[in-house]
Structure 1
């Protein structure tokens, strides 16, 4: 699976993949039909009313509850920063709209996601590229994050949650390295409530990692429940001394990285984990 090389701009709070994936771990799935991404070196000049370049200006801090196992996607619009000329991407997430989390916990219905036309969006919004992350399941129960302008794409509402730096190549892709810790800039807070069942990886150095974003993709090979039931037997590339376990929390687990820097990691299935313990969360589960 190919992914875009992204890193966070420190002055902005981290979005969900953004939050859930972050930087190098932002997976891009290709939907059937219209395609999952579109890039160009010469974007059409956007109409002022359609411009997405200022959607993060005036973003306000918000807290969303009842998020555990919510299905979501993120949409990225790449363009050059007017001041630096560097490539950046505006990130929109379907979980942080004014509608809130629906009873179905599905903020990105399959039919609507498959109908997204990224070539059309690239032209309509006058950007260098448009791409998709997800669908994924979000495992924390709540999240605090800066939320900007809300837009609608093919019937899907999504709110601005971050701006990412893409380095020097809008089309740059590379493979992730499973089980490789990655530091990212992040100010957002999130947490799991007492009684929530969490998925954990214990590494050989004694660190515990908590699964935050469960990868579904457009053509899921298994459900979340099947993944949990399969346990460690399904992991084929787990490093020596590592262990997978499932735990029901006996108290709340709260996470807010100290100094605005978080440590995250992907597994071989493109699920994303956060490190727990000192500097990341109030305890190690």
Structure 2
């Protein structure tokens, strides 16, 4: 399913970090195109939201079979230049400029404050990152920001394109039972260099 999100950042009073509020289109009718999302101006949005910066996360394609989320702001729908979004999470980054830069480091775990449950059904093909510490992260959505042509059919061989750090692995497998990936206040996620999003489930 097509979706996209923006993160509206406010700088910390001290230090280089910032707190972000996450707005996401999931659960709402798909009323936008990839081109419409790409045309959004983050500087203009930052001014509109009275924030220090806005990060454009997407456009994306959700890979889950079903999902539920606890919404913020009372479930209110916010129009982001005509694109309907819910408030779904918050995040703190230790260095805002590094996060916003093209050198944002992939394969670094971030903690996102949210309450969600994602379901991948038995028989589904899932795509995972395995960390040197033994953690497993399942891809929840692919990004078409870095590679506008990335699609589901390319994911089985994506590992051949990733510049995985030492000890990391990319794995594709078919589920022999349903997989539920839950977050109750905190979700631990990583991005690869294409900005595909993976959440830790083990």
Q: Could you tell me how far apart the structure 2 residues matched to 1:150 and 1:182 are?
A: 26
Deviation at 1:219, TM superposition (A): 5.1
Verify: 1:274 aligned to 2:202, yes or no: no
2:22 corresponds to which residue? 91
Q: Could you tell me how far apart the structure 2 residues matched to 1:208 and 1:80 are?
A: 31
Deviation at 1:79, TM superposition (A): 4.2
1:252 corresponds to which residue? 178
Q: Could you tell me how far apart the structure 2 residues matched to 1:251 and 1:133 are?
A: 31
- Structure 2 length as normaliser, TM-score? 0.74
Verify: 1:139 aligned to 2:63, yes or no: yes
Q: Could you tell me how far apart the structure 1 residues matched to 2:81 and 2:41 are?
A: 8
SS at match of 2:123: coil
Match of 1:263 among 188, 191, 199: 188
2:138 corresponds to which residue? 210
Q: Could you tell me how far apart the structure 2 residues matched to 1:215 and 1:192 are?
A: 18
Verify: 1:77 aligned to 2:8, yes or no: yes
Q: Could you tell me how far apart the structure 2 residues matched to 1:172 and 1:206 are?
A: 30
**Unmatched 5+ stretches in structure 2:** none
Deviation at 1:213, TM superposition (A): 2.6
1:172 corresponds to which residue? 97
Deviation at 1:120, TM superposition (A): 3.4
Q: Could you tell me how far apart the structure 1 residues matched to 2:122 and 2:23 are?
A: 29
2:89 corresponds to which residue? 162
Cα distance change of structure 1 residues 110 and 156 upon mapping to structure 2, 3 Å threshold: same
Cα distance change of structure 1 residues 119 and 213 upon mapping to structure 2, 3 Å threshold: same
Asked if structure 2 preserves the Cα contact closer than 8 Å seen for 1:231 and 1:245, the reply is: no
Verify: 1:193 aligned to 2:124, yes or no: no
Runs of 4+ more than 6 Å apart: none
Q: Which has the higher strand share?
A: 2
SS at match of 1:222: coil
Asked if structure 1 preserves the Cα contact closer than 8 Å seen for 2:139 and 2:197, the reply is: yes
Q: Could you tell me how far apart the structure 2 residues matched to 1:88 and 1:231 are?
A: 32
- Structure 1 length as normaliser, TM-score? 0.56
2:166 corresponds to which residue? 239
Verify: 1:220 aligned to 2:148, yes or no: yes
SS at match of 2:160: helix
1:21 corresponds to which residue? none
Deviations 1:155-191 (A, max 9, x none): 3111222233456x7x522444433444554432222
Indicate the RMSD between aligned Cα atoms, in angstroms: 3.1
Q: Could you tell me how far apart the structure 2 residues matched to 1:203 and 1:131 are?
A: 26
SS at match of 2:70: strand
Deviation at 1:257, TM superposition (A): 4.1
Q: Could you tell me how far apart the structure 2 residues matched to 1:199 and 1:272 are?
A: 11
